[in-house]
Structure 1
Amino acid sequence: MFRRLKLLPCSSICKNYSTKVEIDASLKENFESKVFKPRKHPGTTRVKIAAIPLDIQKAAKIILEDNGAKAMYQEAIKLNNYVRSRLLPPEEGDINKRAAKIHNSVSKQYFSKVNKELTPDEYENANKVIQTKVFNILKKKVYSWGNISFDLATSLQYLMVRAAPEYAILVRILDEIRKTLPDYKPRSFFDFGSGVGTGTWAVNTFWQGDIFEYFCVDTSTHMNDLARLILCNGKDNVEMPLKGFFQRQFLPASTDIKYNIVLSSFSLFELPSMKSRLETIQKLWNKTEDFLIIVEHGSNTGFQIVNEAREFVLNLPEGKNNGYVFSPCPNDNVCPRYMEHETPCNFLMKYESLPFPSKSEIYAEVFSYVILRKGTRPKNDPQWPRIVRAPIVRSGHTICKLCTAQGELKEIIFSKSKHDQTTYRCARSSNWGDLLPIK
């Protein structure tokens, strides 16, 4: 189903390079005239740490206190740990293959101990014993997946521990659009798996007043009620302050109406199979006018889901609403991280926790994401390489692991002796997730 481009040998995918590189020529004059400084070059991530807006914090605290949520805090911690460690639901074909393999092994072991010819009744009983053993082994070895039932208590727990990191991550991701396209003004927003409303809070951080329609889809009525109550400052019977705000429990069947920004954040884990995930991605892409954003936790499994969506959209037949990767990838090739099968392509975001039940603290969350944009990649896109791991800073040199426009992972050593001062200082002051403006 997914394309496979020419694979590069491991030695060319990830290798130390003392390659001579330099700052993008179009930026040299700006660096020389001090318009840009190396520590704040155009590729740096502007959002270093984020906190939920104060009015949202206040509304959330009112709701949590009114519902006695302080007593649920330990359960909320367990929920957070579970969300971070989830695996994909096993596919039916994989379960059948594993069951057949276990059955074959158990049968051989069982019948090797039988030294006589069995009667039909004995043979039938033996098969029952074998089936029971196979079932018990399978139950232990196959991941027990289930979607989360978001009743009121679970929704409140989710608000306590997941709203802050998810909001911070979305602000970081949306700033990629804002930074690259400062004049872009979306008019509509579609949020699949909208939960407590973090997507709406995040887009309003940048474009409140520009967006005239918010369409939020979540199967949980409790989540929908909670999201609406938060926007109404935690008070019942208050008029919704956002005009054009709609909530539904299911994806609308019609593809006639499109939205400038379509978001699926931390939601695809709730779908029971790859087939259902890809069908959902197709529906979301059909509803996309400009940008489709997919976000999941930065685990191997979360990255697998994001990459699955990326490959699916990039593999659509020509003429079927084609698009390209706007961020984080500087290319549309097969992800070199996926090819390695070792570590996920993820990034780190710091955030202030919700000040409930105690004061807020600074934490960090890893995440994987992709922003897909409708249309073809602009010819003037610089396609600067992305730093995909924390740079190693040493005396006299800095090592950066980069994902390049050619779809390769390169580890480049920037040193004072082999690179000009601006290039060296830009590399030295860059962080995990930044673009490095070099050629």
Structure 2
Amino acid sequence: MMKRCFSILPQNVRFSSKFTSFNLPKLDLADFIDSNKRGINVLPSYRDETASTTQATNSKELRLLSKTLQGQSYRDQLELNPDVSKAINNNIMAVHIPNNLRRVATNYYKEIQEPNSLHRPCRTKMEVDAHIASIFLQNYGSIFQSLKELQKRVGPDNFKPQRILDVGYGPATGIVALNDILGPNYRPDLKDAVILGNAEMQERAKIILSRQLNEVVDTVEENVSTEKEQETDRRNKNFQEDEHIGEVMTKKINIMTNLRSSIPASKEYDLIILTHQLLHDGNQFPIQVDENIEHYLNILAPGGHIVIIERGNPMGFEIIARARQITLRPENFPDEFGKIPRPWSRGVTVRGKKDAELGNISSNYFLKVIAPCPHQRKCPLQVGNPNFYTHKEGKDLKFCNFQKSIKRPKFSIELKKGKLLATSWDGSQGNASRLKGTGRRNGRDYEILNYSYLIFERSHKDENTLKEIKKLRDENVNGKYDIGSLGDDTQNSWPRIINDPVKRKGHVMMDLCAPSGELEKWTVSRSFSKQTYHDARKSKKGDLWASAAKTQIKGLGDLNVKKFHKLEKERIKQLKKEERQKARKAMESYNELEDSLQFDDHQFSNFEVMKKLSTFHGNDFLQHVNRK
């Protein structure tokens, strides 16, 4: 248990007579104060039971157990780089009439609100700028939070990828987030950004990336004179004082990132960031997901990571779950627990004895999941078909997603002004009807991200690593994690909180995805442990939970997927029936019209003739006639 103390002393504090009231033992100052790596002097009472200092950065974190702090997700509110925000506002948004952007953004919001809808590439210049004004911030926050999780799980010192690939519809959003995380001194060997859609998005990416210091190309020679350097500094100062508002000549902008319009097929990358890229056509699920994940895994270098970002809705979750299933093949390892790297072999589906399965797989390509899953067994929430959620019985189906708050920059706040993007709200939660209105609720300057993500790590393929993987798999034959287990008691298998903890007086209830491969419900009471109870009250959705609990039970029964398969067959049958009825009515109208023209019987007016033709050729025909 973490011990408490009464103060944190900065380096320049000296002991005085006011400390005598505490009856402290007579110790030297050097014995009483310990300096940690951050240069902050921390009293020894903040150490844990192993006498090691914690990673806390403030007094609130110091009260947490070291394991709890290690399992927490990134806590700070996200905020877009101010220089990037200013460039978007001055050089992209300022060249448009605001209502034009709002109108295009509104149409796109309506489009993606349809059931099982997917993000798509921008088609026009106006859609490009509307995407940046509306969708860019959400995607940036989702990628930033996911990369922060990866950085924490592998360690900041181990997260320095040298070859990066970002694929998406936005202005190299993954590269923008990565640059902000790793800082201005981050200079990798290769950064490729594949931007799909209208070519104007690449021009916008140049503007945005040019505002980050680690994208500046160093072209100054070492022997430049002092006078020229001073003149350059003078010009830069004048430019900053007189900010340019309007279009920018992007041809003269040079950045470190290579902007591409096609996906590479032969290079290898240490980090691959995919934003809404595994499924482009909902009718192609799951075949398209399988094909796309296979391609990107083929260009992932040994020791590299692949980060998959999808929407936080049922369709996005099922895409993530399918990619996880096709990669880990949990059906081939029914008795295996833990996160032992799995062999990646496309098309292996035959189930049998484990030794026989592994004997048939000749591969040096192994993968394991880093986050968010604490296990590599079958996903307990996966149903296998996004259409199941559209049924009346499927509205209660649960799926895995995460939320995060991000501060709205000026261009985002300006976009949401007016009637087009204003959403009605009331004050029922605060019991104040006078708070009813439209627009930003209570004038909030932030919005909530909603996303699903998945992170894989490819193992190294040297002989020692392959032997270690085989040894782990052989030793895990009889290993099993029961309900309530913490796995191997490391962050590799700690259960993850998948819903907001329910905090009541005296106890906290948490829904966890556990290393047992099941959804579990844990209850932490004050009587169980005051320190654990304190940490539970500070927990949030998305954290790893590293402590025990008073009660630990299975939280959800097995899904009755057969029922949904039956409902889906009935739905498809009904759709086919409606299509046949529609085709039959169109044919009857055509036959009536043909008979009328054949016998020169003018029983139909010209408009009625056109209307009947429209039933056969489509509604667009009738609309065209009405405009005439």
Counting only pairs closer than 5 Å after superposition, residues 34-49 of structure 1 correspond to structure 2 as: 36-38=62-64, 41-49=69-77
One-letter amino acid of the counterpart of residue 87, structure 1: N
Match of 1:349 among 404, 414, 424: 404
Q: Which residue of structure 2 lines up, in the alignment, with residue 188 of structure 1?
A: 163
CA distance in 1, matches of 2:411, 2:405: 18
* Residues 1:357 and 1:337: Cα distance change in structure 2 (over 3 Å): closer
Q: In the alignment, is the contact (CA less than 8 A) between 1:306 and 1:368 conserved in 2?
A: yes
Report SS of the residue matched to 1:203: helix
Instruction: Provide the rounded CA distance (Å) in 2 between the counterparts of 1:146 and 1:231.
Output: 23
Match of 2:445 among 361, 372, 379: 361
Map 1:376-387; keep pairs closer than 5 Å. 382-387=492-497
Residues 362 and 83 of structure 1: is their aligned pair in 2 closer, same or farther, counting only changes over 3 Å? same
Q: Structure 1 residues 31 and 331 mapped into 2: Cα distance closer, same or farther (>3 Å)?
A: farther
Find the partner of 2:375 among 316, 331, 334.
331
Q: Secondary structure at the match of 2:129?
A: helix
Q: Distance in 1 between matches of 2:109 and 2:408?
A: 13
Secondary structure at the aligned position of 2:365 is classed as coil
Which runs of structure 2 are paired with 1:211-360 in the superposition (5 Å)?
211-220=188-197, 221-233=199-211, 235-237=248-250, 239-240=252-253, 242-243=255-256, 245-254=257-266, 257-271=267-281, 273=284, 274-289=286-301, 290-315=304-329, 316-317=344-345, 318=361, 319=363, 321-338=365-382, 342-356=397-411, 358=413
My pick for the range that moved more, 302-311 or 68-77, is: 68-77
Whether 2:111 is the aligned partner of 1:82: answer yes
Provide, for residues 234-259 of structure 1, a one-character-per-residue CA deviation record: whole Å limited to 9, x for no partner: 7324654532x2122221232xx211
Q: Amino acid of the residue matched to residue 450 of structure 2?
A: V
Question: Superposed, which structure 2 residues align to 1:31-70 within 5 Å?
Answer: 36-38=62-64, 41-61=69-89, 62-70=91-99
Q: Residues 352-431 of structure 1: matches in 2 within 5 Å?
A: 352-356=407-411, 358=413, 361-375=445-459, 382-417=492-527, 419-431=528-540
Query: Which string of whole-angstrom CA distances, capped at 9 and with x for unpartnered residues, describes residues 59-104 of structure 1?
Result: 111211123355221331331343354516xxxxxxxxxxxxxxxx
Aligned to 1:108: none
Q: Deviations over 1:289-332 (max 9, x none)?
A: 21111111110111011111111121332526221110001111
Instruction: Indicate the residue corresponding to 1:435 in structure 2.
Output: 544
Q: Structure 1 residues 320, 149: closer, same or farther in 2, change over 3 A?
A: farther
Provide structure 2 residue ranges, at least 5 long, that are not aligned to the other structure: 1-46, 56-61, 212-246, 330-343, 346-360, 385-393, 415-443, 460-464, 473-487, 549-628
Q: Is this contact kept in 2: 1:76–1:161, CA < 8 A?
A: yes
CA RMSD of aligned residues (A): 2.8
Letter in 2 for 1:374: R
The whole-number CA distance in structure 2 between the counterparts of 1:31 and 1:78 is 59
Aligned residues: 353
Structure number with greater CO (CA < 8 Å, separation at least 6) is 1
Tell me whether 31-40 or 153-162 shows the greater mean CA deviation.
31-40
The normalised TM-score by structure 1 is: 0.73
C-alpha displacement of 1:385: 0.7
CA distance in 1: counterparts of 2:409 and 2:113, whole angstroms: 18
Residues 264-294 of structure 1: per-residue CA shift (max 9 Å, x gap): 1123342462323321111111112211111
Q: Distance in 2 between matches of 1:178 and 1:401?
A: 25
Q: Distance in 2 between matches of 1:34 and 1:322?
A: 34
Task: For 1:424 and 1:437, locate their aligned partners in 2 and report how far apart those are by CA, in whole Å.
Answer: 12
Name the aligned partner's letter for residue 111 of structure 2.
Y
3-state DSSP of counterpart to 1:293 = strand
**Aligned mates of 1:399, 1:299 — CA distance in 2:** 24
Identity %: 23
Residues in 2 aligned to 1:344 and 1:211: alpha-carbon distance in whole angstroms: 36
**Are the structure 2 counterparts of residues 189 and 32 from structure 1 closer, same or farther at C-alpha, using a change threshold of 3 Å?**
closer
Task: Indicate if the aligned counterparts of 2:85 and 2:409 stay in contact, CA closer than 8 A.
Answer: yes
Q: Determine which structure has more spread, i.e. the larger CA radius of gyration.
A: 2
Cα separation, partners in 2 of 1:333 and 1:154, compared to 1, 3 Å: same
How far apart are the structure 2 equivalents of 1:46 and 1:313? 27
Q: What's the TM-score, normalizing by structure 2?
A: 0.52
Query: Which residue of structure 1 aligns with residue 332 of structure 2?
Result: none
CA gap of 1:30–1:155, structure 2 versus 1, over 3 A, is: farther
**Runs of 5+ consecutive residues of structure 1 not aligned to the other structure:** 1-26, 89-144
SS at match of 1:270: coil
Distance 2:80 2:116 in 1: 28
AA paired with 1:373? E
Take 2:81 and 2:107, find their aligned partners in 1: how far apart are those partners?
25
Residues 231 and 240 in structure 1, CA contact (< 8 A), matched pair in contact too: no
Q: CA 1:59 to 1:428, structure 2 compared with 1: closer, same or farther past 3 Å?
A: same
Distance in 1, matches of 2:119 and 2:133, equals: 22
| Change in 2 beyond 3 A, CA 1:422/1:238 | farther
